[in-house]
Structure 1
Amino acid sequence: MTIRRTASWQQSMDDRILEHLRDESWATPSYMARLRGIHATEAQVRERCRVLADADLVAFLTEHQDLVELTTKGMGYLKGEVDIDLYPRPRHPRAIE
């Protein structure tokens, strides 16, 4: 059983996003907003993806931030190999824009 070391800034939606990207390699925020277990709007998913990207757990494949993929660090987190709390806290989504 994998034990993930979550950070205080993370939300439960973050894990659902990361798990989906692990299984599908890339996705759009609009698609992920419709997934079971996410329970969020497209804007909310996009905002969380920006935070996850600032934490280097996901990366945007386009400059318009419409395609998202999992990073090596994100995969390490999902495997329980990376303690996200040991890394700098990501910026607030509005500060990233």
Structure 2
Amino acid sequence: MRYSGGWMVLADDRILEYIREEGSGRPTEMQESGYVRYSKQYISTRCKKLSDHGLLDDLGNGVYVITERGERYLDGEIDTSEDSPDEVESVFEGESKSGENHEQV
């Protein structure tokens, strides 16, 4: 399960999925692929927003790569809400989604 912040839109998941699969991406490539069915300009705007929130890295010349934080979001390990801590708590008390124990001893 993914925990998307209120600032995110449906296109963001598609963009992140595309870039994870391809290794990198440009808005033009994403639009032409048919996987991200939005205009190049809209994809570019969303890539900048994802970069601002640490889910993508802008390498310049319109090329983006996914960050570790972006990977963790896609895997459901973090919550991208601006007022939430990154780590998603497990249903088991004191254990994060990744299974690490965070209880103080």
TM (norm. structure 2) is 0.74
**Mapping 1:54-65, distance limit 5 Å:** 54-62=52-60, 64=61
Higher helix share: 1
Q: Distance in 2 between matches of 1:33 and 1:27?
A: 10
Q: Distance in 1 between matches of 2:26 and 2:12?
A: 14
Q: Which residue matches 1:68?
A: 64
Report how many residues are paired. 83
Q: Which has the larger radius of gyration?
A: 2
Q: Distance in 1 between matches of 2:41 and 2:27?
A: 8
Instruction: Give the SS at the match of 2:8.
Output: coil
Report which stretch shifted further, 6-15 or 33-42: 33-42
Instruction: Give the SS at the match of 1:61.
Output: strand
Q: Distance in 2 between matches of 1:12 and 1:77?
A: 14
Q: Provide runs of 4+ in structure 1 moved above 4 Å.
A: none
Aligned-residue sequence identity (percent) comes to 30
Which of structures 1 and 2 has the larger relative contact order (alpha carbons within 8 angstroms, sep 6+)? 1
Q: Distance in 1 between matches of 2:30 and 2:55?
A: 16
Segments of structure 2 that go 5 or more residues without pairing to the other structure are: 86-105
Q: Which residue matches 1:82?
A: 78
**Mapping 1:1-97, distance limit 5 Å:** 3-62=1-60, 64=61, 66-85=62-81, 86=84
TM (norm. structure 1) is 0.80
Deviations 1:69-90 (A, max 9, x none): 0000000000000100126xxx
Q: Distance in 2 between matches of 1:12 and 1:37?
A: 12
Amino acid at match of 1:39: R
